[in-house]
């Protein structure tokens, strides 16, 4: 009986979270970051953030979310979105040799931080919390984590395809505008 519950919880969670995240800001973040940084590092950073977020959502749930002020989470997310946005907009073609070379570890930490704070308290977390209240917790975590890994990987793949086809300066401008738009949306959502 518990194996059936685990499998059904995994499938239900995967489907619910996959469609909730498809085209959501975390996937846009992965697309944008993959146009600039190593795809593997972006995937590791995003996956690590989602693994931790989904553990929080399943195990700690609303108790954890109740102790962190939404304004603090929003402020960190706005700061990270703005930093990545401005950095992308300041990019100039031909300056690759003068660019600071980031290690994979730095990229992973940056992506982890950005995804973690962007998604903390997001609708996906509430979906996962709701599912874990009535379904097998391990199945909910497994299905939801696999779903966000899949949507992130699809976003990263799309970003690498764009990187090969579109001029680098254009990609940086679009990426910068996406991040600044996400910062503005977060600012409006939490402070107005």
Listed by start position, the domains of the chain span 8-60+68-92+101-191
Alpha carbons 171 and 130: distance in angstroms, whole number: 38
Rg for the chain (alpha carbons), in Å? 17
Per-residue pLDDT tens over the stretch 4-54: 888 988 998 898 888 878 777 888 888 888 888 889 999 999 999 999 989
> Distance (Å, rounded) from C-alpha 117 to C-alpha 121?
9
Banded pLDDT at 175 (limits 50, 70, 90) = confident
CB-neighbour burial class of residue 104 (10 A; exposed 0-12, middle 13-18, buried 19+): middle
pLDDT at position 1: 46
What's the CA gap between 183 and 185, in Å, rounded?
Answer: 6
- For 175, residues 6+ apart whose C-beta sits below 8 A from its C-beta are 32, 33, 35, 36, 84, 85, 88
How far apart are alpha carbons 24 and 80 in whole angstroms? 17
pLDDT, mean over the chain: 81
Provide CB contacts within 8 A for 129, sequence distance 6+: 57, 58, 61, 62
Q: What are phi and psi of 109, to 5 degrees?
A: -65, -45
Identify the pLDDT of residue 88: 77
* Percent of the chain residues past pLDDT 70, beyond the cut: 88
pTM of the predicted model, to two decimals? Answer: 0.72
HSE-CB of 144 using CA atoms within 13 angstroms: 31
């Amino acid at each position: 009986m518990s194996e059936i519950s685990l499998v059904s919880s995994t499938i239900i969670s995967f489907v619910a979270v996959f469609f909730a995240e498809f085209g959501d800001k975390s996937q846009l973040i992965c697309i944008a970051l993959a146009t600039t940084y190593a795809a593997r590092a972006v995937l590791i950073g995003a996956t690590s953030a989602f693994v931790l977020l989904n553990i929080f959502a399943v195990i700690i749930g609303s108790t954890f979310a109740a102790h962190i002020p939404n304004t603090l989470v929003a402020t960190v997310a706005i700061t990270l979105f703005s930093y990545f946005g401005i950095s992308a907009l300041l990019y100039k073609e031909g300056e690759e040799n003068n660019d600071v070379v980031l290690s994979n570890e730095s990229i992973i930490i940056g992506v982890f931080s950005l995804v973690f704070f962007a998604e903390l308290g997001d609708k996906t977390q509430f979906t996962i919390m709701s599912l874990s209240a009535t379904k097998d917790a391990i199945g909910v975590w497994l299905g939801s984590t696999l779903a966000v890994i899949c949507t992130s990987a699809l976003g990263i793949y799309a970003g690498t395809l764009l990187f090969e086809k579109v001029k680098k300066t254009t990609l940086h401008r679009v990426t910068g505008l996406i991040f600044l738009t996400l910062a503005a949306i977060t600012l409006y959502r939490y402070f107005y």
